Structure formats: structure tokens, C-alpha cells
Structure 1
């Protein structure tokens, strides 16, 4: 990531220093290795492709008319998130703290800013607490999951702090944008038919 702005250069430098300092503190503790294993599970739980494929399968398999509008709107948001993050990464092109060698990296995903996991986690959180509210019982677990996913990106050295913060903000904004373009029940049925869901919804 190249910039001629002294302020931005200073901010990025401090971002790298603070992020490295946080990881170095954690690495001194014996639980750090087990913590990194848990972070890998969190990474998988918020993978973009996994969410997209699983959600399309969820729409097709459940085949529920009462839930279809929610499912399609969630899918629209997931696609929006992937596109927004990919475009921003292609433009900014900030290098990751450490090159990723233990997972498949495609296209813009080799870059660091913003964190797609953080944006997706907070998009899901806002979706299920504000747009399609689940029972309040799920609010705390969802919030904990979103925060833990975001922090795990720092522990695994996938991103710097600024990447994660920006990702979280983007996720919230995506959910709020989806609120304005909320897909109607009729249009949701047309989309479901297009992706191959049965015509006879239960």
C-alpha cells in the first residue's frame, strides 16, 4: 500500500506497531498455541465461500416459503460483502502481516485491507439482531462470535488492527444498506426459482 500522505503513513506505521505488540504479548503465554487452534476454527466458521455455498444449499434444502424472504436477503448481503471487500482489497492492495501458506488464497484475498472475516461477522451480527431479529437469547453468543472472529484475525496475523476495525464498520454499513434495498417476498421467490429451489414451497 503506497501513500504520499504523512498522516496516513504515520497511522499505518502505528497500526503495524500496535498489532505486532499485541501478538508479541500473547505469544509469551503458554495458552497461545491452543488459542491459535481455536482461532483456526473461528476462521473457518466465517469463511466467505463456505457461507455462500452453505446458504444457497440452506435455501434449496429447507424450501420454506415463510423463511424465503429472510434467506434471500441474507444471500444478497453475503454477495454484497464479498464484492465490496474484493473491490477495496484490489484498490488498496495492503500486504498482509504474514504471507498465508496454510490456506487457499484467491485473487484480491492475498491483500489485507479490509478484513473480510470481520466485515462478514458483523454483517451477520447486525442482520440477525436488527434486520431479522432472532430471539434475544442469541444476541450474546452472536456478538461474542463476531468479536472473537475479528480478534482471531489479529492473533493469526492475517490482518492489522486497522484492517479489522474497517472490516467491522463495513459489515455494519452493509447490513444498514441492505435494510434500504430489502428484497420483497415476490422477488425473493423469483430469485429462489432462479437458483434452483423447488417451485412448490412449503
Structure 2
């Protein structure tokens, strides 16, 4: 038990050192310094609550039978992501590299592991590349966005490298899990019908 605890402590210390080192290297370049303001927009673009409510609004506004199955499955994955990340954060309770003082950022919590933005970005990326393929010309900007979101977590010092890596892995696994529980078009219609009737 002491050995595993010592290994974990060593890994976390190295994670902090490498994260600090990477941030200092990035900040030596004017490009990354100027990118910091864009990172804040990336942060908002991948916020969990914003994605959840925006996607529900998308389902309500664009009530198309052709899209309904995709919309419901994506919504299930977004809810799964929020739950998984929240449970892991409350269990691990690792503090962020620096305290968040940007009051205009949507609901940042104080725990760092795993990165919810990274998990969400890569869940969305895998969803639209493997489960519901978008046209090829949209995949390049989507991939760029997902990678930039993950990188922005380090630049903004919201997370350590290990948090980001764990988030990416979780996002990929969530998309793969959704592949196994993918709901049919009929089931998706029943869910939306039930929700509409209950209103």
C-alpha cells in the first residue's frame, strides 16, 4: 500500500513539474501568449452546461425525423460525460494548478482531474467521426477544435497534463460506450414524444 502511494505521489509531482515546464515553454512564444484570449473562447465553446442546453434547444428547434436518432444519442453522451467527470472529480478531488478568477467563465469548478473540456471535446470528435460521420471537409476543423480545446486547458493553467490526457481517454471511451448502447430511431422518437407530452 505504501509503495503504490509513493508511486502515485511521485507521478503527481512529475505531472506538476512537466505541466509547469510546458506552460513556461509555451509562454516563451508570442503566438501562444496571444492565443490565451482565444483559449478563453475555446473554454466557453466546450462548456458542459452550455453544450447540454444548446443541444436540447437544437432538438426542440430542429425537430427533424432524419436527425432525431443522432440528436438523442448525442444528448445521452453529453449527459454521460457530465456525470462521469463530476463523479471522478468528486472522488479524486485534485486541486487545479491555479485558482480560477475569471468570473465571466461559465461555472468552473475547483477540481482538476479529469479535464471535462478535454473529455467533451474528444467525445464530440469521436461521435462525429465514428458514430455519425460528418462530411470530410468538416472533420478537419472539428479535429483542430478538439485538439485546441485540450491544449487550451494547459495554456490557461486550468489543468495538468495528466488531467488532460485522462479527459481525452474518457471522451474516447464514452463515445465507444455509446456505440454499444446506441438507441434506435423508434426509441429516440418515443423519448422525445414522452418528454413533449410531460410538458
Q: TM-score range by the shorter chain?
A: over 0.9
Q: TM-score, normalized by length of structure 1?
A: 0.91
1:196 positional shift: 3.1
For 2:194 and 2:143, locate their aligned partners in 1 and report how far apart those are by CA, in whole Å. 33
For 2:90 and 2:16, locate their aligned partners in 1 and report how far apart those are by CA, in whole Å. 20
Q: Could you list the runs of 4 or more consecutive aligned residues of structure 1 that deviate by over 4 angstroms after TM superposition?
A: none
Are 2:54 and 1:39 aligned? no
For 1:139 and 1:104, locate their aligned partners in 2 and report how far apart those are by CA, in whole Å. 27
CA RMSD across the alignment:
1.6
Instruction: List alignment gaps of at least 5 residues for structure 2.
Output: none
Q: TM-score, normalized by length of structure 2?
A: 0.92
Are 2:121 and 1:121 aligned? yes
Are 2:30 and 1:18 aligned? no
Are 2:56 and 1:72 aligned? no
For 1:82 and 1:148, locate their aligned partners in 2 and report how far apart those are by CA, in whole Å. 20
Query: 1:32/1:136 Cα in 2 relative to 1: closer, same or farther (>3 Å)?
Result: closer
SS in 2 for 1:114: coil
1:104 positional shift: 4.7
Deviates more, 1:18-27 or 1:165-174: 18-27
2:99 counterpart residue number: 99
1:155 counterpart residue number: 155
How many aligned residue pairs are there?
Answer: 193
1:132 counterpart residue number: 132
Instruction: List alignment gaps of at least 5 residues for structure 1.
Output: 198-202
